[in-house]
Structure 1
Amino acid sequence: MSFSAPSLLLAAPLTAYLAFVSPWLGRRQYDRLARRRDHAPRALVHAYRLWIAEEWVWVAVAALILVLSPGVRPADLGFATPTNLSQIAPAVAGMTGAIVIGTVLLHRLARSGRAVPGQAAVAELMPRTSAERWHGLGMAVTAGVCEEIVYRGLLIALGVGALGLSTTAAAALALAVFVAGHWYQGWKGMAVVALLGFWLTIVYLATGSLLPPIVMHVLIDVRGLVCLPAPPRGTVGQAV
């Protein structure tokens, strides 16, 4: 694949933003949300709207990069029918089952008043009202679609087509940027994100399609942002 000069002029600032600005800005925004949440009833709704809009802007830029590069096919960015599904079907089915079972168990744990493992890192993102829950659903779907297109599809393609890296090296670099984007969750949260991101990357590379990782990413975030009750107020602060 060959990216054109105009497309690289767009790709360079987007990549720099994702790698350096987004982690720093996300941490500041999360800390600000934590300070305002209890006395500003719509603070979380406004934050979700901002993040949803931002991530769709990323996708719009990625689409423009693709349009400006005749030497790059949509399939190079993962817009293709999945292949080798039979090989990864057991892993995908197992992961889906684990998500469903884990959601039920964690929901019961939360209802009992006990702390849900890992939830403290993203406590301020947990919806408390129906309006927040609907926006949380929108955020989960947006993150699943947009982050897979940009972090998995675009960045891996840029690593291979623009930097001349091997697919493995490009995927590792893209994963590092993806994990950095979750800096607001702290090191423990980032470790979990790294494991999930690694698994989603394997699924993408095995199938050549973004569709399976998008579906799994959405399910993971719906579980974290919609299906689990919010922790009690006063606890310390998951979209992957």
Structure 2
Amino acid sequence: MTVPSFTVPSLFLAVPLTAYLTFVSPWLGRRQYDRLARRRADDPRALVRAYRIWIGEEWAWIAVTALILALSPDAGLRDLGFIRPDDFGKVAVMTAGLGGALLAGSLALRHASRSGRAVPGQEAVAALLPRTPAERWHAVAMAVTAGVCEEVVYRGLLIALGVGVLGLNPSVAAVLALAVFVAGHLYQGWRGMAGVALLGLWFTAMYLATDSLLLPIVAHVLIDVRGLVFVPAPPPEKVGHAA
């Protein structure tokens, strides 16, 4: 991993964005999810509106990230993981692992759903699960947005800032970025955050092994699509916030 160089003007954007992701976004996300859970049963457009707000917010992060790079001539897309992986052996192993994990997880989720048992982890995101075609399309858009934007910002940008600005070892910077990523899912409660931490660790390992965001983005999108779209939503009376 190269050591990117960020200019002082770019830091006037990077520092507030990092502070927002670390402190404001977790608190705001929790409030937004709680409000959605309260209104979901009585407002048929509540989920669609929430998805649109979150999609807009995450693409705003990308816009700020683009400005940070534009203000830093010595830092480029490559420093944020926008490269093709060179070690195709690692890519093949990770791709096979991703496919196996998705298949096994999907079979387990389908079996749990058909047998009437609670789907693992569903309670933490119950208010986000779509029931109508419009909600499903917005859920797909949300999954793609999260997979792209969160990997670029949490994995690409934050690790690059840790290495280039703070002088941290890439592994240490990755751990700190992972902590911010997990905090951003505060709305899921501690059990949900534990699952997010495991997934985030997997995405981080992919990134550090290949220096590319390609596999983490693909894995993130596929996992979110499976979790939001292909898992049956619980009955409305069971939708609520997971403590």
TM above 0.5, one fold? yes
Q: Could you tell me which amino acid in structure 2 is paired with residue 81 of structure 1?
A: R
Unaligned runs of 5+ in 2: none
CA distance in 2, matches of 1:73, 1:38: 46
Report 1:56-205 matches (<5 A). Answer: 56-205=59-208
Unaligned runs of 5+ in 1: none
8 Å contact kept, 1:37–1:43: yes
Question: Residue by residue, what CA displacement relative to the aligned partner does 1:47-104 show, whole Å, maximum 9, x if unpaired?
Answer: 0000000000000110110111011121111111112231242233122222123213
CA distance in 2, matches of 1:156, 1:111: 41
CA distance in 1, matches of 2:30, 2:124: 12
RMSD: 1.1
CA distance in 2, matches of 1:227, 1:98: 15
Residue 53 of structure 2 corresponds to residue 21 of structure 1? no
CA drift at 1:154: 0.2
Aligned equivalent of 2:226 = 223
CA distance in 1, matches of 2:190, 2:92: 31
2:44 to 16, 41, 53: 41
Question: Residue by residue, what CA displacement relative to the aligned partner does 1:183-221 show, whole Å, maximum 9, x if unpaired?
Answer: 000111111111110110010011111111000000110
Over 4 Å off, 4+ runs: none
8 Å contact kept, 2:62–2:153: yes
Residue 54 of structure 2 corresponds to residue 51 of structure 1? yes
CA drift at 1:112: 3.6
CA distance in 2, matches of 1:134, 1:86: 35
Q: 3-state SS of the aligned residue for 2:202?
A: helix
Report 1:202-217 matches (<5 A). Answer: 202-217=205-220
Equivalent pairs counted in the alignment come to: 237
8 Å contact kept, 1:83–1:209: no
TM-score (structure 1 length as normaliser): 0.96
CA drift at 1:107: 2.3
TM-score (structure 2 length as normaliser): 0.94
8 Å contact kept, 1:85–1:207: no
